Amino acid sequence: MSIEIKVPAVGESITSGVLSTWHKKNGDFVQDGEPLYALETDKISTDVPAAGSGRLQIQVEAGQEVQIGQVIATLDESAGAKAEPSTAPQPATAAAQKVPAKDAETETGTALSPAVRRIVEEEKVPISKVTGTGKHGQLTKADVVQYLESRSTGAVPKKDLESAAPSAPPQFAPTAMTERRPPVSPEKPVTAERTTRRKMTPLRKKIAAQLVMAQQNAAMLTTFNECDMSAVMKLRAQYQDSFQKRHGVKLGFMSFFIKAAVDALKTVSQMNARIDGDDLVENHYYDIGVALGTERGLVVPVIRDADLKDFATLEKDVAAYATKARDGKLQLDDLMGGVFTITNGGIYGSLLSTPILNPPQSGILGMHKIQSRPVAVGDKIELRPMMYLAVSYDHRVVDGREAVTFLVRVKECIEDPTRLLLQG
């Protein structure tokens, strides 16, 4: 008996995704609950566990777009756990892999993967002239790309050398995937890639759409200030060891800024509002989004009820989200909602920037690099660790006076962190 592996539903508005990685190889024995593959959508990237145990037969290659509910593999339960010690992949036929009829037979008698078929169709590759190096002589993407390179550089493909029939002079035909530097000489062609073309991931498409929408649909403006980080840095240095020993997490800067943002939102309630059609919706809760950079792109998990949490809980929440984001285990609920966002470009060395709103929110606070600068303290010039702050806001909801008041309040809370404890 075989178990069909289908793409699970990961959200009401999500209809497709990209099967980014298989964690198991074709023919491997899979245990129930093991991470089987990674699914990337326009909102999250998550590992999907196996829905049973058995021998894996992959039907959709990694890198392909798949629909929710689509069958992408099967698990052969009859293989049994006793077959597990045998690690050699079992021969896979077109019938066993449920290859569509149009893909089962080609000019070479082997099946074409979707990626290979796309290149063959776009570049009109005569596949009878391409030597397949894959399993059972199957054509791989590398085989087709190598053939196209040989045409562009004037080299004669292997099958053409074996054929006695004369062939027409080779014509230059760049591939759909890469563009390559012309050869210096026929004896030593240069194959270093100058450009690489690949499809945008759903997450990157979503990020791009959100950024464009934010700029087109909001009257966005940014105001700046700077704050002296001396008090916070002194407090962290004084209590870091005891804090970490007691709570098992380091005392970072983010918890201070989350607390400061919540205090400022309470002071300037207009910043904690959003436009919904013709209505102005005022929020009376404080779910704060924290922007995190990952290899897949920027994600903004939300710290729920930040006003009710202490510094230790906030630091643990941020650390947990960072780990989940790095491992691709963020859930859709982790990213939903949020009334205000904080982003820290300083960890990458940014000295000053204008953060873009995270719709439908009306405000976002940008932290930056801490840099020692000479500042006037009373009648003296002193060297202090300074950070530039930026708050971008939707001018349709927030006036300039309110935005400046908000940022000044954040500055006051950071420069005198006892305000966060005494709410003064």
- CATH number for the domain harbouring residue 259: 3.30.559.10
Residues 179 and 237 in one domain: no
Q: Does 399 qualify as catalytic in the annotation?
A: yes
Instruction: Say if residue 296 is in the same domain as residue 244.
Output: yes
My answer on whether 263 and 165 are in the same domain is: no
298 lies in the same domain as 414: yes
State how many domains the chain has. 3
- Same domain for 39 and 143, yes or no, is no
Query: Residues 373, 332: contact at Cβ < 8 Å?
Result: no
Which among 165, 196, 227 is the end of a domain?
Answer: 196
Predicted pLDDT of residue 280: 94
Any domain includes 225 = yes
Residue 88 lies in a domain: no
User: Is 96 inside any structural domain?
Assistant: no
What length does the chain have? 424
The mean of the pLDDT values for the chain is 81
Domain boundary among 196, 221, 252: 196
In a domain, 112, yes or no: yes
**107/62 same-domain check:** no
330 in a structural domain = no
Query: What CATH number did the domain enclosing 10 receive?
Result: 2.40.50.100
Q: Count CB atoms within 10 A of the CB of residue 237.
A: 10
- Please identify, among 168, 196, 224, the residue that sits at the C-terminal boundary of a domain: 196
Q: Are 187 and 208 in contact (CB under 8 A)?
A: no
CA distance 67 to 209: 21
78/18 same-domain check: yes
> For the chain, which residues score pLDDT lower than 70?
10-13, 42-43, 79-115, 118, 134-137, 151-193, 423-424
Residues 21 and 116 in one domain: no
Residue of 99, 109, 105 lying closest to 73 (CA atoms): 99
- Domain-embedded: residue 143: yes
Q: Is 368 marked active-site?
A: no
Rounded alpha-carbon distances, angstroms, from residue 330 to 257, 334, 411: 23, 6, 32
**If DSSP states are collapsed to H, E and C, what string results for the chain?**
CEEEEECCCCCCCCCEEEEEEECCCCCCEECCCCEEEEEECCCCEEEEECCCCEEEEECCCCCEEEECCCEEEEEEHHHCHHHCCCCCCCCCCCCCCCCCHHHHCCCCCCCCCHHHHHHHHHHCCCHHHCCCCCHHHCCCHHHHHHHHHHHHHCCCCHHHHHCCCCCCCCCCCCCCCEEECCCCECCECCCCEEEECCCCCHHHHHHHHHHHHHHHHCCEEEEEEEEECHHHHHHHHHHHHHHHHHHCCCCCCHHHHHHHHHHHHHHCHHHHEEEECCEEEECCCCCEEECEEECCEEECCEECCHHHCCHHHHHHHHHHHHHHHHCCCCCHHHHCCCCEEEEEHHHHCCCCCCCCCCCCCCEEEEECCEEEEEEEECCEEEEEEEEEEEEEEECCCCCHHHHHHHHHHHHHHHHCCHHHHHCC
Predicted pLDDT at 411: 97
Q: Write down the pLDDT at residue 56.
A: 92
The answer on 253 and 398 residing in a single domain is: yes
For residues 35 and 110, state if they share a domain. Answer: no
Same-domain status, 71 and 106: no
CATH number, position 134: 4.10.320.10
What confidence score (pLDDT) does residue 292 get? 92
| 289 CB-contact burial (10 Å; exposed 0-12 / middle 13-18 / buried 19+) | buried
pLDDT at residue 39, as a whole number: 84
**Residue 296 belongs to what domain range?**
202-325+335-422
pLDDT value of residue 214 = 83
Residue 90 resides in a domain: no
95 within domain boundaries: no
Asked if residue 284 and residue 402 are part of one domain, the reply reads: yes
Specify the pTM.
Answer: 0.61
